[in-house]
Amino acid sequence: MLRTVLAGLRAHTRRLVATLIAVVLGVGFVAGTLIFGDTARAGFYDTFARLAQNVDVAVLAPTGSGGQPELLTDAQLAAVRAVPGVAGADGRSSGPLALLDPAGRPITNFSRVGVGLSTDGDPRTRPFDIDGRVPAGPGEAVLDTETASHQRYHTGDTVVVVDAAGARHSYTLVGLIDFGVSKTYSGSTVVGLPAAELAALTGVRGYDEITVTAAGGVAQDVLAGQVQAALGSGPRVSTGDQRRTDLADEATSVATEFTSALLVFGVISLVVAAFVIYNTFAILLAQRIRETALLRCLGATRRQVFTATLAEAALIGTVGAAGGILFGIGVAYALFGLLNDAVHANLPAHAVVVGTGPVLAGLGIGLGVTVVAALLPALRATRTSPLAALRELPTAVVTGRVRRIVRAVAALLAVGAGIAVTVVGSGTSDSQAATFTIVAGGVLAFLGALIAAPLYIGAVTAAVGRPVAAVLGTPAKVAVANARRNPGRTATTTATLMIGIGLIALCSVLLGSLQATAEDQLVGHYPVDYAMAGVRYDNDHQAAIPAAFAQQLRARPEFSGVAQAREGSGQLDGARAVIAAVDPSAYGTLITPATASGTHALDAGTVVVSSANRVTQHLRVGDSVTVTVGPRTQTLTVAGTAPLAIPGIEQIDALVSWDRFTDLAGPGDDTVVLAKAAPQVSATSSRDALDQVATSYPLLEISSIADLTSDLATQINALLALFGGLLGTAVLIALFGIANTLSLSVVERTRESATMRAIGLTRAQLRATLLIEALLMGVVGAVIGIGFGLVYGPLIVRAQFGAVGPIVVVPWGWLAGLVALAAAAAAAAAVLPARRAAKASIGGVWP
């Protein structure tokens, strides 16, 4: 029997190429992701050990009551040094420190200033590599290589940092320090200074960590025990080896997250590949029905037929999986490039690691998916009656009524359950649970749509095909008829595209909405051009803007409007909330909330609450609400509700009048200053004027609203490209599926094609019929997939971002492009089968 299988495979090699490619692509993606994960992890381990190089015992500061680590003291450092067996111990201290760029503005990362780091201590235990030397005295500093290359600072240059009071201090760079891929300081500037200098600048007194080197012959774990004993409970003491492993594990969790996210896309590709494999076997076995019947006539049992088919599948699965693993190595390389470019993942370079895990997983998955996909067709083949060998081939598939009803009922159940779960999810208030439930509902409903596909695909194809046939005439009519002749086959073929295109559509709705929502939060609804905010030191501390800054701006003719805003975290009816106020000169003119109800006008006794946020959703005009800022609480009346986004303040729950805010929080500096350029003032001159005024305020971050918007668009487009690229594999496999189905159909329709040629179809028209058939499948798959994305995209957006009042965007242009692309790609996939069909001689009319 095996000989028959091998002979069959040899005879039909060409017909199986597309299936093989589908397996290779599907397995390649998964294996590549796993290989990528291993490689990234290896890279992280290599480079992360550096943070604790030559450290024998590490002491970490205990976590304080607020979740922030408390600092280790000089007394504790002295206690460690006094432990017998300790050769040396150094305290590492760090604190937020603003570094200025050459233009004199602070360099920030998501509004946060960079880090200052002490460089004192044993050179062997430094957490960095250095090019140059460490600062030897006052006036000298080192800088991290990443910042140096961005800002074009070199050894010998002068850099300026600003202390918490706003005073500038200049240093000469005596070296550049490299942290490898450490995520600890990723994206931040790191200035290395002597500990005393750092303490003077940042006010930090104490250490994040104490690193210990052991005297010769003292074991790490013994010493760690002694250090712990000397310090008592509180500080966390670990051996150097343990610390290095912890650091690497912390870092690899990033790689693991990437890998898990990528695996989702890998699984999608596999599912699509499974559809393609299933379809191939279904068609092949249908074509081979006479062969199978002949085998049965000659005495093959049902079991032998079944086993032979599965053996065939297993062979293809194994060969495809082997190819897939090789392909996966390439995929792993590509993923590094893709992630580093598209999302600046900053992954460490490392030679690709191909472990046994990914190889075995790839082989298992390839074999498993192929065999499982072939199960149903194989079972069907066993039902072949020996008599079929003597009969004419069936020309059209007629599905029984009962089967159609069973299918319809199963589909209705799945869709019904999916809709029910979705509705439950939409009503859930917790955004994570809601999103998860809606996605689960979507998967169920999609499954239902897939099950039902053979029932409606013919009608949909006919509907899409009607206008095409009207324009393109007879070949299109024949193409529509061909696409409808075997609804099961067409449904499976288009389902693969449905999945890929549907997910891309979903992502485009999600990301488009994310962009619009974020833009809305950033820009607010107010006609301002610049937003100024103090740099942030940590979650709770932000540099304030002296009121004089706004006054100086108002004096400049380049600006037609300047608004000051104050913000404070407080409570609304006891719930945590952000309360803000806008100065009276701008409120109602430059800054006028577009009220959803009531009025925006405020007096001492009223408050405007956000109409979009969950905290305030229950409040109505006229309600009384207690407002707490700082130590004081007052009861105010709701005057109106409105979306309250102000650029520079992340999320505002309530606005009170300027005077009321002063009553509550006391007089203070501004949180945000907004400026609108005067008409006829160019962007450059308004920016110049702003920079001039800001020279005296080095802790001020200036954002141009236009720049923020375009930055955001760039980021979103990069993400869209990333998702598009990842889902592209699924679409590519789907296209191979279309090519496969068509080329098998061409084989099946040899005589029909020849007849058509004999009675007057030109070669070009014959090619056209196949191209149109593919095009129809492409369009139908894309349209149904996009329809799904359009339903579930907005639902997920609302569930995920309900708290901030999301804006749902449907990128119609992009979606239309997607349909056109799917149609064109499907037609391209049909080029080879069409050429083969047209090449066949007309002599095929005769048996």
Which spans of this chain sit near other proteins (rule: CB under 8 A)? 394-396, 398, 473-474, 477-478, 481-482, 484-485, 751-752, 755-765, 842-843, 845-847
Nearer to other proteins, 70 or 752 (CB): 752
CB of 718 vs other proteins, minimal distance in Å: 47
Phi-psi region of 180 (alpha: psi -120 to 50; beta: other; left: phi over 0): left
Report the nearest approach of other proteins to the CB of residue 512 (Å): 41
Kindly compute the dihedral angle of the four CA atoms of residues 545, 546, 551, 552, in this order, to the nearest 10 degrees: -80
Residue 653 or 773 having the CB closest to other proteins: 773
The DSSP output letter for 392 is P
DSSP bridge partners of 536: 112, 542
Question: Which helix (H) or strand (E) is 714 found in, with range?
Answer: helix 705-748
The b/e string for 235-263 (b: 16+ C-beta within 10 A; e otherwise) is bbbbbbbbbbbebbeebbebbeebbeebb
| Bridge partners for 171 per DSSP | 159
- Check if the beta carbon of residue 636 is closer than 8 Å to that of residue 627: yes
Least distance (Å) between residue 281 CB and other proteins: 23
Provide, rounded to whole angstroms, the least separation between the CB of residue 380 and other proteins: 20
Contact 292, 381 (CB under 8 A): yes
CA distance 158 to 497: 58
Cβ 722 vs Cβ 812: under 8 Å: no
- Residue whose CB is less far from other proteins, 483 or 507: 483
CB of 18 vs other proteins, minimal distance in Å? 24
Cβ closest to other proteins, residue 479 vs residue 665:
479
CB 397 → other proteins: shortest distance, Å?
10
209-214 and 632-642 as β-strands: parallel, antiparallel, unpaired?
A: unpaired
Q: By C-beta, is 182 or 753 nearer to other proteins?
A: 753
CB of 836 to other proteins, least distance (A): 16
Closest separation in Å from C-beta 752 to other proteins: 6
- 833 sits in which H/E element: helix 831-839
Contact by Cβ (8 Å): 39, 332: yes
Dist. CA 142–CA 116, nearest whole Å:
10
Nearest approach, Cβ of 361 to other proteins (angstroms)?
44
Torsion angle, CA of 665/627/569/806, rounded to 10 degrees?
-140
* C-beta closer to other proteins: residue 467 or 473: 473
Integer Cα distance of 619 and 260 in angstroms? 41
Smallest separation (angstroms) from other proteins to the CB of 395: 4
Helices within 235-349 (DSSP H only): 240-287, 289-297, 302-342
- Expressed in angstroms, the distance from the first to the final Cα of the chain is 29
- For other proteins, which is the closer residue by CB, 41 or 757? 757
State in angstroms the smallest separation of the CB of 481 from other proteins. Answer: 4
The minimum distance between CB 457 and other proteins, in angstroms, equals 15
Q: Which is closer to other proteins, CB of 482 or CB of 496?
A: 482
Q: What DSSP state is assigned to residue 73?
A: P
CB-wise, 157 or 752, nearer to other proteins? 752
- Tokens matching residue 312: 């065939």
Residue type, 214: A
**Closer to other proteins by Cβ: residue 199 or 481:** 481
- Taking the least distance from each CB to other proteins, the nearer of 589 and 762 is 762
Q: How far is the CB of 841 from other proteins (least distance, A)?
A: 8
Single-letter code of the amino acid located at 582? V
Report the residue number, 334 or 764, with the smaller CB distance to other proteins. Answer: 764
In angstroms, rounded to a whole number, what is the distance separating the alpha carbons of residues 676 and 689? 12
CB of 206 closer than 8 Å to CB of 76: no
Contact 684, 555 (CB under 8 A): no
Other beta carbons less than 10 A from residue 397's beta carbon: 12
CB atoms within 10 A of CB 791: 16
Q: Please, are residues 779 and 823 in contact by the beta-carbon 8 Å criterion?
A: yes
Count CB neighbours of 290 within 10 A: 15
CA distances from 179 to 69, 126, 703 (A): 22, 10, 29
CB of 396 to other proteins, least distance (A): 5
Using the minimum distance from each CB to other proteins, give the nearer residue, 482 or 628.
482
Closer to other proteins by Cβ: residue 488 or 527:
488
Query: CB-side exposure of 411: number of CA atoms within 13 Å?
Result: 15
For other proteins, give the closer residue by CB, 75 or 398.
Answer: 398
Q: Kindly tell me which of 290 and 751 has the beta carbon lying closer to other proteins.
A: 751
DSSP for 741-779, written as a single string: HHHHHHHHTHHHHHHHHHTT--HHHHHHHHHHHHHHHHH
User: Whose CA is closest to 792, among 338, 285, 343, 445?
Assistant: 445
State the DSSP H helix or E strand holding residue 2, giving kind and residue range, or none if neither.
helix 2-11
Q: What tokens appear for 246 in the block?
A: 């912890």
In the bound complex, what is the minimum distance in angstroms from residue 748's beta carbon to other proteins? 11
* Separation CA 278–CA 822 (nearest Å): 22
- 């607020």: which residue's tokens? 66
Q: Which residue, 196 or 764, is less far from other proteins as judged by CB?
A: 764
* Minimum distance of other proteins from residue 759's CB (angstroms): 5
Which residue matches tokens 């604190």?
95
Tokens 């609400």 found at: 625
Helix, strand, coil percentages (3-state) for the chain, rounded to 5, are 60, 15, 25
Considering the complex, what minimum distance in angstroms separates the CB of residue 775 from other proteins? Answer: 17
Q: Which residue, 44, 370, 1, 367, is CA-closest to 183?
A: 44
Nearer to other proteins, 735 or 761 (CB): 761
Minimum distance, C-beta of residue 784 to other proteins, in the bound complex (Å): 23
